[in-house]
Structure 1
Amino acid sequence: MKSLSIQAGTITGNGFQQQQLPWHGLTKSTIKPANNEEPNNWIYVVGKINALFPSLSLEQEFLQASQIAGTPPPANSMASDQVELEQINSQPQQSKWLYNGLSQPQNLYIAREMNWVLENTDNNHLFSLLPTSNQCLLQLISALSPDTGNIILVGQRLADGRVAVSNITATNTPALQQVAQQEQSKSTSFTQVVNELLSLNANNGESNAERAINFTLYNNDKIYTETYGFCYQPNTSGANPSGYQLVNVQVKTQTSGDRLIAKVIFHYQGINTGASQSWYCAVDVTGEYPFITVPWKQYLCH
């Protein structure tokens, strides 16, 4: 398949603790009508959790607590000044030590004072995070585990730029679990399709288009099976016997009453012809938690 990209437009009209947690400590804004121009700042993003020491004193406190708990730090993890502290904070291999120490119940007071951040797969900073409850803080600590990998974070962007965390879940959602089961019975071409589609999650998850595509990737297994079928299981007696390849993914939003609906449109082109066809998944992105309204349907451009 060709490299894919997201286009946004508007048309009128595990070992990981997964808990559905209530919101504590902050007052969330109510859902605005879809045609309200004020941004709601909802976040639905994929990345990795990291914890940084905000000060040398807290790092030293954590070192002492780790030694008492029998979870000593790895080599070169003791800072003597601010420069060394910044170097420690930039080492991704620190996550196992941080997880082992912060997951001790007696060290929860340290976890509360850590700077929690969300990073992309290249370890680049995306957001500073604000845990909104003790349960949420435990989710962040669990996400530090080396066995966790990428996570899905849902929250709200605050005026100071931080993201108030509502919930964290693992990326092995039920839809992705079904895809993984099918990978075992299909060729390596299916795995290639899955990996290329999942690469679309490389975004900040802030806009309605990004939230819609991220939610679709992890909650709709049809996009994987249908894309694979179009390309590698063509109808030899059909209009394009060589099959279709996915060439573009586009997101268009529209209002439906007081709801905001995002259509994630997958455009396919004939491998040996100029024939084309498009299919879409519709996602309601009005509130903080998106949900699918149309799993898979042919899209007619107009």
Structure 2
Amino acid sequence: MEQSEVNESLATKCVSSGEPEQLTMVARRATHSLAPQSCPTCGTVPSTGGAMHTDPSFIYAIGRIEARFPRPGVEKEFAQATGRSDTAGLTDRQAVQKVLAQRQNRYLARQLCWVMSIEGLETYLLTPRDPLDLELLVEALRPTPSPMDLDCVIGIRGPIAPPDICNGLMVPMVIFDQIYSFDRDSLIRAIPRPETIADEAFPPAAAELFDRIMQLADNAGATDEHRALNYCAVRYHAIYANAADAFARNEMLKGVDVIPSRLSGARNIVDVIFSYSHRNTDVTQKFFVRVDVTEEFPFLITKLSPYYDR
């Protein structure tokens, strides 16, 4: 099958499955820029009753963003732009960030592949819904990167990228609406410390919980469970204070689980459960947070409370 036929087939599948119109346009290779469309029914497909419905796949993922050259021509053009800039004394990463940050070189940022890796695995290709949000991608390229650097991406997942989009890399494309770039230590320092917990005890406790959430298997931020977990990790500081309290009581973090809430109905709601067991008595205490993950942006329903098994 010719490549054009493959791409057209992918675009047809994208429409039939209700994927956003922007991603359909990429699959057809009409453009590499996914600007938002004005169509009021973009991303919808007819139901059997003739009405329109939408079934998007939301992303709330935590990983690292990097830029890549999709084609040799783009790499050569970037080299010429670098030659016109004053990059003496800069590292390669610093030079890349400086060149892309300059307004006259913004056309290069639009040509690059923006890849999000999670736990070292290439997971998504990113593109902004609003072209002005290209700035968020450029800012994610730190001049002095650290292994602790993290990026939180919120958006909508689309089809697998055609091989000609990013030099043969075939991973799901994501139209993002927001990116938070931070490092783990800064996140922990920003968490309010309860007065009952010593200064030296709180950072290790918060780091332990954060790392456990990040290391959960296959956490690509695509399922409701993982989206809820990642939301709590970056937006709800009470779970860290609770972990520090548990460690002070000589308890260990036994597990983090996410289950559908009994309150689910018209809304998609999950319970995020944190289990702590006493190191001497093995008595387990559980606490939970109730999160609504119906829409692209999760939000808190119930604050941290004791959890009792059914």
- Same fold, TM exceeding 0.5? yes
Alignment of 1:258-277 (within 5 A): 258-277=266-285
Unaligned runs of 5+ in 2: 1-33, 45-53, 161-171
Aligned to 2:133: 136
Structure 1's 125 and 266: CA in aligned 2 closer, same or farther, altered over 3 A?
Answer: same
Task: Tell me, yes or no, if the aligned pair for 1:73 and 1:97 is still in contact at 8 Å.
Answer: no
Q: Does 1:247 align with 2:254?
A: yes
Distance 2:204 2:60 in 1: 25
Distance 2:304 2:189 in 1: 19
Q: Does 1:165 align with 2:181?
A: no
Aligned to 1:110: 108
Match of 2:98 among 100, 107, 110: 100
Structure 1 residue 256: deviation in Å? Answer: 2.8
Secondary structure of the 1:218 match is helix
Which structure has more relative contact order (CA 8 Å, sep 6+)? It is 1
Distance 1:267 1:194 in 2: 15
Write the letter of the residue equivalent to 2:294.
T
Match of 2:293 among 263, 270, 285: 285
Structure 1's 175 and 114: CA in aligned 2 closer, same or farther, altered over 3 A?
Answer: closer
Aligned to 1:239: none
Structure 1 residue 29: deviation in Å? Answer: 4.7
Bigger drift between 126-135 and 102-111 goes to 126-135
Structure 1 residue 188: deviation in Å? Answer: 4.0
Q: Does 1:192 align with 2:199?
A: no
Distance 2:202 2:96 in 1: 37
Structure 1 residue 276: deviation in Å? Answer: 1.4
Aligned to 2:150: 150
Residues paired across the two proteins, number: 245
Structure 1 residue 94: deviation in Å? Answer: 4.4
Aligned to 2:302: 294
Structure 1 residue 278: deviation in Å? Answer: 0.7
When the two structures are superposed, what TM-score results if normalisation uses the length of structure 1? 0.72
Deviations, residues 55-81 of structure 1 (Å, cap 9, x unaligned): 11111111111111223697xxxxxxx
Match of 2:76 among 60, 79, 85: 60
Task: Tell me, yes or no, if the aligned pair for 1:175 and 1:220 is still in contact at 8 Å.
Answer: no
Task: Tell me, yes or no, if the aligned pair for 2:225 and 2:270 is still in contact at 8 Å.
Answer: yes
Distance 1:282 1:146 in 2: 38
Q: Which runs of 4+ in 1 moved over 6 A?
A: 172-175
Bigger drift between 148-157 and 174-183 goes to 174-183
Write the letter of the residue equivalent to 2:258.
V
Distance 1:258 1:296 in 2: 23
Structure 1's 266 and 296: CA in aligned 2 closer, same or farther, altered over 3 A?
Answer: same
Match of 2:86 among 60, 63, 70: 70
Secondary structure of the 2:295 match is coil
Question: Over aligned residue pairs, what C-alpha RMSD do you find?
Answer: 2.9
Structure 1 residue 108: deviation in Å? Answer: 0.9
Task: Tell me, yes or no, if the aligned pair for 1:151 and 1:171 is still in contact at 8 Å.
Answer: yes
Alignment of 1:193-232 (within 5 A): 193-199=205-211, 200-202=213-215, 203-232=219-248
Distance 1:67 1:140 in 2: 22
Structure 1 residue 181: deviation in Å? Answer: 5.5
Task: Tell me, yes or no, if the aligned pair for 1:48 and 1:150 is still in contact at 8 Å.
Answer: yes
Deviations, residues 154-195 of structure 1 (Å, cap 9, x unaligned): 011102321111111134799855426669x73544322212
Structure 1 residue 102: deviation in Å? Answer: 0.8
Aligned to 1:126: 123
Task: Tell me, yes or no, if the aligned pair for 2:259 and 2:270 is still in contact at 8 Å.
Answer: yes
Identity of aligned pairs, percent? Answer: 27
Write the letter of the residue equivalent to 1:96.
Q
Write the letter of the residue equivalent to 1:225.
A
Aligned to 1:12: none
Secondary structure of the 1:69 match is coil
Unaligned runs of 5+ in 1: 1-22, 31-37, 75-92, 235-242
Structure 1's 41 and 225: CA in aligned 2 closer, same or farther, altered over 3 A?
Answer: same
Structure 1 residue 120: deviation in Å? Answer: 2.9
Task: Tell me, yes or no, if the aligned pair for 2:188 and 2:207 is still in contact at 8 Å.
Answer: no
